[in-house]
Amino acid sequence: MELKEKIEELNGAIDSASITNKGEQEAFRIQFLGSKGAIKNLYELLKSVPNESKKEFGQLINEVRAKAETKLTTAEDVLATSTQNQSHGLDLTRPGETTELGARHPLSIVRNEILEIFKRIGFTVSEGPEIEDDWHNFSALNFPPNHPARDMQDTFFITKGDGTDPKKEMALRTHTSSVQVRVMENSKPPIRTVSPGRVYRNEAISARAHCFFHQVEGLYIDKDVSFADLKQTLLYFAKELFGEKANIRMRPSYFPFTEPSAEVDVSCTLCHGKGCNVCKYTGWLEILGCGMVDPNVLDASGIDSTVYTGFAFGMGIERIAQLKYRVTDLRLYSENDIRFLQQFKAAH
Ligand code: PHE
């Protein structure tokens, strides 16, 4: 074979050689650049070339050698950096995989906030069952036997007894006031507790009503607890929740289990009392019901009403969340629409 052809063949072999690991790198070096390699061999052949052609062929061989050397050093560099990056089997140059963080449900955020406010002034947290008997939901709370709140329209009844034992008639609790009775039955004053939970009412589902919602109940029983204590506690609560500027007012109301009873309004969180469409231009928003625990309830729950007095209050968590986050449709809270829920990521 002519020397020229050999040189061309070697050129092609260098181009098509692949170097993807240390072994191939060493094999390449030996094959082409080693002391017994192909290029060394070409220089040997150069000796028998006529003198006038030596310069031309010498140059061609030099070029092939330079090409092989460049290919070898480039491959060395590439292999060195990629072994660095793949140390421990990890390719640290790959983009990271992001993990989507969930958000707390707005009702959980508001519930936790309410509980924290009361924990700071010494209230404990207590809970009771959602499937409740007539005694804890109604009878012990001074509901007369034929009170309209026991009516089928409001209550989801589960089992109806023969009417002689209210502890055998089961229903889904209609309010968290049932937990008041359970706490009083099971502990001695002084009692300071808040009870969060889900409650159920037989109502058609709409933007403004739902068949279940959430409440936080409060109960304070001790000697000499007065209506002034109730008012001051709720004013503290309103300021903690809505800000220092918040004010409250009380309106007379009626609940079978408190006497006297009141409904509490907070100064409008949007217009601060000036009047806007959220507060329907009254400057006030209703947030909870409360009152002094009726002596009948204390006695029914095993607490001596001649020694102790107390107050109770109950609020809807959805209502407060609505004021905090301007959610105007109750159904959003239970539809699990990710677009709604994601908005609370930053909240807590
Ligand atoms: N249980 C009442 C309701 O669901 C609220 C309330 C609780 C009122 C405690 C007074 C005292 O509307």
- What whole-number distance in Å separates Cα of residue 310 and Cα of residue 230? 9
Q: CB–CB of 216/114 below 8 Å?
A: yes
- Mean pLDDT, residues 98-127 taken together: 94
- Answer whether residue 152 shows pLDDT above 70: no
- Every domain range in the chain assigned CATH 3.30.930.10: 106-347
Q: Are strands 212-222 and 191-200 parallel, antiparallel or unpaired?
A: antiparallel
Output the pLDDT for position 147: 82
CA of 278 to the centre of ligand 1 (A): 23
Residue 328: per-residue pLDDT: 84
**What pLDDT score was predicted for residue 96?**
84
Mean pLDDT for 38-44 is 91
Q: Give the number of the atom of ligand 1 that is nearest the alpha carbon of residue 288.
A: 5
Contact 36, 7 (CB under 8 A): no
Nearest to 42 by CA among 92, 82, 7, 5: 7
The model's pLDDT over 263-287, given as tens digits with 9 standing for 90+, comes to 999 999 888 888 888 888 999 999 9
Query: Confidence class of residue 1 from pLDDT cuts 50, 70 and 90?
Result: low
Mutation test residue for ligand 1: of 118, 138, 172, 177, the one with most atoms within 8 Å of CB: 177
Q: Is the backbone peptide bond immediately before 190 cis, with ω within 30 degrees of 0?
A: yes
Prior bond of 145 cis (ω within 30°): no
Q: In one letter, which amino acid is 281?
A: Y
Side by side, the strands of the sheet bearing 258-267 are 124-125, 191-200, 212-222, 309-316, 284-293, 258-267, 248-255
- What is the pLDDT averaged over residues 1-18? 89
What's the whole-number mean pLDDT along residues 166-179?
Answer: 93
**Cβ-based neighbours of 125, under 8 Å, separated by 6 or more:** 115, 119, 193, 194, 195, 196
User: Which ligand 1 atom lies nearest to the CA of residue 174?
Assistant: 4
Q: Which CATH number applies to 106-347: 2.40.50.100, 1.10.1270.20, 3.30.1200.10, 3.30.930.10?
A: 3.30.930.10
Instruction: Identify the helix (H) or strand (E) that includes residue 309.
Output: strand 309-316
The owner of tokens 């070029």 is: 63
Task: Determine the pLDDT at residue 153.
Answer: 65
With cut-offs at 50, 70 and 90, classify the pLDDT of residue 164: confident
CB atoms within 10 A of CB 17: 16
Distance, CA 168 to ligand 1 centroid (Å)?
Answer: 23
Distances (CA, A) of 138 to 32, 48, 151, 208, 247: 97, 118, 11, 25, 32
Instruction: Take residue 324 and report the two structure tokens written for it.
Output: 């905090």
Span 200-256, pLDDT tens digits: 999 999 988 999 999 999 999 999 999 999 999 999 999 999 999 999 999 999 999
Ligand 1 is surrounded, with C-beta below 6 A, by 175, 177, 217, 255, 258, 289-291, 312-314
pLDDT at 50 > cutoff 70: yes
Do 283 and 273 meet the contact criterion of CB atoms below 8 Å apart? Answer: yes
Question: Quick one: which atom of ligand 1 is closest to the CA of 314?
Answer: 7
By percentage, how much of the chain surpasses pLDDT 90?
69
Paired tokens of 160: 């109806």
- Which protein residue's CA is at the shortest distance from atom 6 of ligand 1? 314
Grouping H, G, I as helix, E, B as strand and the rest as coil, residue 286 is strand
Over residues 69-98, the pLDDT tens digits come to 999 999 988 888 776 655 667 778 888 888
Residue located nearest, by CA, to atom 9 of ligand 1: 313
Round to whole Å and give the CA distance between 160 and 229: 40
Spatial distance between the Cα atoms of 119 and 113, rounded to a whole number of angstroms: 10
pLDDT score of 160 more than 90: no
The CA 213 to ligand 1 mean position distance, Å, reads 14
Q: How far is CA 140 from the centre of its chain?
A: 37
**Nearest atom (ligand 1) to Cα of 293:** 11
**Are the C-beta atoms of 214 and 316 separated by less than 8 Å?**
yes
**Token representation of residue 337:** 């629409």
Query: What does the pLDDT average to over 58-74?
Result: 93
